[in-house]
Structure 1
């Protein structure tokens, strides 16, 4: 922003500077989104590894992030119903 302000006395119009700042904002947004995608993909891979490693779990949720949104919502609702029906965890009181 400071750099753009310094360019105004050199004859560059405010429209040109606004365009430049808009392009920079779009590029920065893209970089942030790509980094967020990487983080999410890594978390999914780690969670899939945990599900596969635990023999008591069902593997039908592995790769769920690749399904269509309707299927994901149905699976989440089913799992939430099952979780509510389970007894609470024992406490060490």
Structure 2
């Protein structure tokens, strides 16, 4: 990111965002909070994270220290079609 400071970044990972017991609401994970605090919040380039691991689809948008939205999307592709997953988890937020 330091070598290309004007390029937007999508960060992929594992367990960045979980889903609450209701099957819809986002639930932050310890790992996701650590990434927010140590990497995402202060890097305006990171506008989206995408992760799996947990079953379901959800998203959470926060405002970083530059005042820009950064959205985290959870989607488990293995049990849904790619189109359904992307639409339900992220499309209205990007």
What TM-score does the superposition give when structure 2 sets the normalisation length? 0.19
- Between 1 and 2, higher relative CO (CA 8 Å, sep ≥ 6) is seen in 2
Which has more strand, going by share of residues?
2
What TM-score does the superposition give when structure 1 sets the normalisation length? 0.19
Higher Rg of the two aligned structures: 1
